[in-house]
Structure 1
Amino acid sequence: MKRQDGALLSSIEIDRTGKRAIGVQLYMVLREIILSGGLRAGERIPASRTLAREVGVSRTTVIDAVDKLVAEGMLVSRVGAGTFVSDILEQQHPGADEQRPPDPQTSKPRLSHAIDHSFASYAPRSWLPHRARAFVTALPALDAFPIAQWSRFSARHFRGDRAEIMGYGQPQGHQGLRNAIASHLNAARGIKCSPEQIFITCGAQHAFSLAGRVLLNPGDKVWYENPGATGARNALIAAGAELVPVSVDAEGINIAEARRLAPHFRLAFVTPSHQQPLGHVMSLARRLELLEAANDAQALIIEDDYDGEFHYGVSHRPPLKSIDTQGRVIYVGTFSKTLFPSLRLGFMLVPEHLTPSFDTLFASWISTPPTAVQATVADFMDEGQFAAHIRLMRRLYKTRYDALMQAGQDHLPDTIRLQETTSGFHTTALLDDRVDEIALMAQAAAAGLTIAPISRYSLSDTAEKRLVLGFGSTSPPDIENGVSALMKLPALTP
């Protein structure tokens, strides 16, 4: 049956240039017509020959689509009579007099108190970069990644033992990768540790979330750098933490202020190697002061060493974990910056006294990233490619940093002043108080630039207006062009 006005058949459109198969398209269109009530329960659909002729497809394509709908129970085939819409669907489509707009109160999903509270407090993450352009942050130099060597290591594992790479894997993470990370931390970062203290995670934010679940009760106070990293902020809020914003100066987090605000804190979150986002390196005196405060409060510290590998100053301080003698620091690292973000691969190094607790957690229900990915990274590290890549990236980022600073010195107006840094692949720029940040962001986006105001990283208002500018993923010519475009924005010449 075609319907007198031909509405059913005329509504079916096939995209013959699309990637989706014609038969799949026909099946999905028919399914949508049935679910939306375009065909009522008990109504007969056109014969396969008729439908094929009207839509312009083969009869076999129509039969395949109809057979799928019969298998799903949406259509019923009756020998000698035809194919009809299932009566079961009658209950799913109320009559017109029964339909009414949904009640906002009853239709709102019921969420846990913890997550409902978290949604209101989360820092925005929708601006995480996917493609390189001036001045994206958090994105490494993907154009310089040694993809040929990586492909060779990856192919080796997919040609190997299937049980090893396709099974569930070891709960705490691939043993080869844990061994490689421990060796690297001992040799290159000055951290004495064993592989048993290392747990592989699906990125750094996953590690922060797990630490919060193990260590925090709802309402526990956490010292948090202000401004500070957004990923850890969201993870700890979801764990029920009460984040205490603590200001940051040139030496790092202000311990005196933190003690005054929350003397009985449970956890502190810091980025001592390259403060996120201000770029300061925490002084030795401030590090010792933080460790003393944690001992006094019987608290723990999460050290996020997200880009500490990339230092290019005259000297570089080792991680906070390397001077932790009391087992107060949980060290978190990520391969998103050293290799590439889509790996979703990170790790946490926990103090020995916490190892049994995390062993239980991981063995009970945590799933680590794919074993083949972990094994590939392990080989990449064991055969020297990781260390070589880090050395290359340090030189590359220094070149791109110098390009940004020179371009800023040559072209940028006095209303924006670039700040120096000695590590990582982003820096900040001080803004004149007269500059409208919101207007500047909108103008930058229209000009093809990505800039982030310091407010995106802040739990509470900060004294200065700043922008966070990345340079790691962008070539010197593109940086030069980006600065030229930035200087022309009307908001910078109030």
Structure 2
Amino acid sequence: QRLKVFPGGEPRTTRAFRANQAALDAFPTSLWAQVAARRLRRVSTRLLAGGEALGYRPLREAVAEYLNTSRGVKCSTEQVMIVSGVQEALERAAHLLLDPGDPVWVEEPGYPGAAIVFRAAGAKIFPVPVDSEGLDPELGERKWGRAKLIYVTPAHQFPLGVTMSLRRRLALLEWARRSHTLIFEDDYDSEYRYSGRPIPALQGLDRAGSVIFAGSFNEVLFPALRLAYLIVPSGMVDRFAAAQSVSMRHAPLIDQAVLCDFITEGHFARHIRRMRELYAERLSVFLDCARRRLDGMLEVPDVEAGLQTVGWLQSGISGDRAAEAAAKNDVEVVPLSSYALRALRRDGLILGFAAVDARELRRGVEQLARALEGCR
């Protein structure tokens, strides 16, 4: 999850526009329970005893096959490492690949959890602005010079929602090859596209072994699952495996086995298809209501993918003031400026549309409209 922070603690109930959360009301809990029960009835002593440091091998095999089919990722089972979340994947990569003082580029605005991890490793953080095609390596080079590692979210940039173009992906990979730079590809929100053809992951286009790839099941299924994956270049497998064997921080193997069954029995793919249809319906409701009711206060762009979008504030309204007013009206939004390391030319609000149903979305738009009207 994208490091959500709530004043006074997280609300007990999901409110309109909460970002980075799936439709938990639509998750097939009974089916998950059946899969888990079957697994527990035939659990082996080998599974109870523990397993490979990189995670439950059948799950790693299933992940490798799924990513090859859905994302064009090219990897063997040996390159797959099971972790609790992308945050842990970032921590592991930073610990093994960065030295104090190493320059790291991050997207601006971007996911703050990445910058936190890299700073903790002693790296120097350099924000590179994101445009309509994603992070521009030529701009980064002109602005900051070389980089040891670049962190990007090309499938659905967080928080702007931009999909990195194929042209920019190829340029980034070529720049990384020439400059001997590593790329950490966070495959955030890649599962849900509503228009346009999906673009292959950077990892699948990479020919130089420059890309470390990570993704999570926590937002696709449910946050409490705490299962994600890290795909490392073949030349780094031994290094990551050695570190993992010492810490043995991987999630419980029984949970990994349940997820593996859920995938191999076809439930995961069917769930993705159902959720894609549901989220497209909720997105349509949100866009229709927001563009009619929030006109002149919030500009909402077209949305191609993901579970949230940015709404650009108008009429001189500040993001902090808008978020404070929204909270008083029982609406949950986060200022875009919260995800920037430097001052932005234009502020906005991050608006999730997946977590609540159509009725709550309509109600949320009305509540947000009242909040923004009070900020004028």
What interval of TM-score do these two structures reach, taking the shorter chain for normalisation?
A: over 0.9
Partner of 1:28: none
Do the aligned residues in 2 keep the contact of 1:415 with 1:492 (CA within 8 Å)?
no
1:454 corresponds to which letter in structure 2? L
Whole-Å Cα distance in 2 between the matches of residues 285 and 169 of structure 1? 42
1:227 corresponds to which letter in structure 2? P
Whole-Å Cα distance in 1 between the matches of residues 33 and 320 of structure 2? 43
Q: Secondary structure at the match of 2:218?
A: helix
| 1:132-147 map, 5 Å | 132-147=14-29
User: TM-score, normalising length from structure 1?
Assistant: 0.73
Whole-Å Cα distance in 2 between the matches of residues 234 and 433 of structure 1? 33
Shift of 1:126: 2.4
Partner of 1:331: 213
Do the aligned residues in 2 keep the contact of 1:277 with 1:428 (CA within 8 Å)?
yes
Change (3 A) 1:460 1:366: farther
| 1:92-241 map, 5 Å | 125-127=4-6, 131-161=13-43, 163-241=45-123
Partner of 2:339: 457
Tell me which of 162, 169, 177 is aligned to 1:295: 177
Change (3 A) 1:224 1:150: same
Partner of 1:466: 348
Partner of 2:294: 412
Q: Secondary structure at the match of 1:138?
A: coil
Do the aligned residues in 2 keep the contact of 1:158 with 1:165 (CA within 8 Å)?
no
Partner of 2:144: 262
Cα deviation 1:230-274 (Å, max 9, x = unaligned): 222222222222110000000001222211233221000000010
2:86 corresponds to which letter in structure 1? A
Whole-Å Cα distance in 2 between the matches of residues 345 and 236 of structure 1? 22
Tell me which of 355, 358, 363 is aligned to 1:476: 358
2:136 corresponds to which letter in structure 1? N
Q: Secondary structure at the match of 2:208?
A: coil
| 1:244-393 map, 5 Å | 244-393=126-275
Do the aligned residues in 2 keep the contact of 1:125 with 1:230 (CA within 8 Å)?
no
Partner of 1:400: 282
Change (3 A) 1:323 1:124: closer
Whole-Å Cα distance in 2 between the matches of residues 129 and 381 of structure 1? 31
Shift of 1:293: 1.5
Whole-Å Cα distance in 2 between the matches of residues 279 and 129 of structure 1? 25
Runs of 4+ in 1 over 3 A off after TM superposition: 127-131, 490-493
Change (3 A) 1:235 1:422: same
Change (3 A) 1:154 1:464: same
Do the aligned residues in 1 keep the contact of 2:326 with 2:372 (CA within 8 Å)?
no
Q: Secondary structure at the match of 1:422?
A: coil
Whole-Å Cα distance in 2 between the matches of residues 422 and 368 of structure 1? 34
2:181 corresponds to which letter in structure 1? A
Whole-Å Cα distance in 1 between the matches of residues 157 and 11 of structure 2? 20
Calculate percent identity across the aligned residue pairs.
37
- Bigger RCO (CA 8 Å, 6+ sep): 2
Whole-Å Cα distance in 1 between the matches of residues 20 and 151 of structure 2? 19
Shift of 1:124: 6.7
Do the aligned residues in 2 keep the contact of 1:222 with 1:268 (CA within 8 Å)?
yes
Cα deviation 1:80-104 (Å, max 9, x = unaligned): xxxxxxxxxxxxxxxxxxxxxxxxx
Tell me which of 427, 438, 441 is aligned to 2:320: 438
Change (3 A) 1:210 1:303: same
Q: How large is the Cα RMSD of the aligned pairs?
A: 1.6
Cα deviation 1:171-194 (Å, max 9, x = unaligned): 110001100000101112111211
User: TM-score, normalising length from structure 2?
Assistant: 0.95
1:189 corresponds to which letter in structure 2? R
Whole-Å Cα distance in 2 between the matches of residues 346 and 325 of structure 1? 24
Whole-Å Cα distance in 1 between the matches of residues 22 and 81 of structure 2? 24
The runs of 5 or more residues in structure 1 that have no matched partner are 1-122
Q: Secondary structure at the match of 1:275?
A: coil
Do the aligned residues in 1 keep the contact of 2:282 with 2:353 (CA within 8 Å)?
yes
- Aligned length in residues: 372
Cα deviation 1:353-407 (Å, max 9, x = unaligned): 1111111111222320011110011001101000000111111111111111000
Shift of 1:446: 1.2
Per mean C-alpha deviation after superposition, the further-off stretch among 126-135 and 233-242 is: 126-135
Q: Secondary structure at the match of 1:337?
A: coil
Shift of 1:444: 0.8
Change (3 A) 1:181 1:222: same
Quick check: which has more Rg, 1 or 2?
1
1:481 corresponds to which letter in structure 2? R
Q: Secondary structure at the match of 2:257?
A: helix
The runs of 5 or more residues in structure 2 that have no matched partner are none
Q: Secondary structure at the match of 1:380?
A: helix
Whole-Å Cα distance in 1 between the matches of residues 375 and 43 of structure 2? 63
Whole-Å Cα distance in 1 between the matches of residues 214 and 11 of structure 2? 22
Do the aligned residues in 2 keep the contact of 1:433 with 1:465 (CA within 8 Å)?
no
Cα deviation 1:102-126 (Å, max 9, x = unaligned): xxxxxxxxxxxxxxxxxxxxx9742
